[in-house]
């Protein structure tokens, strides 16, 4: 009997240890991905697929001793060139003054590539999937499964040779079993070099606007309370990038879990019907009432946006 009990205990411990080892292998692969996008010199192009919409970008990155620089360029459409030199990020506009912010990464790139693994471990489980081919390259699938039902999941396909992310899908569960890709980020061209690309070497030398010349919109007075936050989110005190809100905006909050951002703002009621839109993984929800309209914008489910809007009350 004692041998049987010992055997059962050993089997139980083995079953527990196997998922833990698999999870650690997943996190090790994610750390390799993050190191690849921060340490390597590359020139890549990628597309973002949202339903029938396609956005295309060119992304260059270089590192030379203590200098790090990257450039994000929208293709085939008018947009904002974004340049980062170390912790200064420049939004270069053709007909308007440039905007300068402080950040260690460009916010328009997938946040998963830059968040500390210790923070991601609080929100996701990391599970290795099968190997496959992506755009002619051997790739390893990594699934980041959200620990909360309010979050989306992420599937990453990682280049086996370089550790570079080749594809990232934002996944929502349907009916508890089916997976729907709300948004697909996919590399279409990748070239890595030993030295920094020449175009980035030139951008290291040019003079750029100083952050002290950036004019930010005035802060919005908060006339309401926000009485509920999704799990893992906190209100950002004094957010740097406040959107160009209309003068009639009464209250505004920016929420963050370190990975995603949600904007919530209140304006006088216009007695419009409830509205909900989805742009890829981004939800835009408007709750209209006789006294106020509450708008929620962020990468959350419609049900979460509805709950956020319903939690707003007068001070």
Closest to 73 in 3D by CA, of 237, 180, 197, 211: 197
Q: Is the pLDDT of residue 270 over 70?
A: yes
Quick one: which H or E segment has residue 30? helix 2-39
17-213 fold: outer membrane lipoprotein receptor (LolB), chain A (2.50.20)
CATH entry 1.10.10.10 includes domain 224-314:
no
pTM: 0.84
Where along the chain do the CATH 2.50.20.10 domains lie? 17-213
Phi, psi (5° rounding) for residue 276? -140, 125
62-67: long-range contacts (C-beta < 8 A, 24 or more apart)? 62/196, 62/197, 62/200, 62/201, 63/38, 63/39, 63/196, 64/195, 64/196, 67/204
Separation CA 105–CA 116 (nearest Å): 12
Lowest mean pLDDT among 11-15, 86-90, 254-258, 291-295: 11-15
Q: Tell me, what's the pLDDT at 14?
A: 42
The string of pLDDT tens digits covering residues 16-36 is 444 445 589 999 999 999 999
Query: Where does CATH 3.30.200.100 sit in the chain?
Result: 224-314
Please name the residues in contact with 83: beta carbons below 8 A apart, sequence gap of 6 or more: 69, 70, 71, 72, 89, 90, 92, 203, 208
């Amino acid at each position: 009997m004692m041998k049987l009990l010992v055997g059962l205990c050993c089997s139980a411990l083995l079953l527990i240890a196997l998922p833990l080892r698999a999870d650690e292998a997943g996190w090790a692969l994610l750390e390799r991905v993050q190191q690849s996008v921060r340490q390597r010199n590359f020139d890549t192009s990628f597309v973002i697929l949202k339903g029938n919409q396609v956005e295309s970008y060119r992304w260059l990155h270089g590192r030379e001793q203590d200098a790090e620089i990257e450039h994000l360029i929208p293709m085939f459409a008018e947009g904002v060139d974004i340049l980062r030199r170390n912790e200064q990020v420049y939004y270069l506009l053709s007909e308007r003054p440039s905007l300068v912010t402080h950040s260690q990464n460009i916010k328009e790139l997938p946040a998963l590539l830059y968040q500390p693994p210790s923070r991601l471990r609080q929100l996701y489980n990391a599970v290795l999937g099968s190997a496959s081919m992506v755009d002619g390259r051997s790739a390893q699938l990594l699934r980041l499964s959200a620990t909360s039902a309010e979050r989306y999941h992420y599937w990453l396909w990682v280049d086996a040779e370089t550790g570079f992310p080749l594809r990232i899908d934002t996944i929502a569960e349907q009916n508890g079993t089916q997976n729907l890709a709300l948004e697909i980020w996919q590399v279409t061209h990748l070239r890595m070099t030993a030295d920094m690309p020449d175009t980035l070497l030139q951008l290291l030398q040019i003079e750029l606007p100083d952050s002290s010349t950036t004019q930010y919109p005035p802060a919005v007075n908060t006339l309401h309370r926000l009485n509920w936050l999704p799990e893992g989110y906190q209100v950002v005190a004094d957010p740097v990038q406040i959107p160009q809100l209309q003068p009639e905006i009464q209250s505004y909050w920016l929420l963050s879990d370190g990975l995603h951002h949600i904007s919530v703002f209140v304006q006088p009621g216009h007695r419009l019907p409830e509205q909900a839109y989805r742009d890829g993984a981004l939800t835009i929800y408007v709750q209209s009432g006789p006294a106020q309209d509450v708008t929620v914008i962020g990468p959350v489910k419609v049900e979460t946006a509805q709950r956020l809007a319903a939690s707003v009350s007068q001070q």
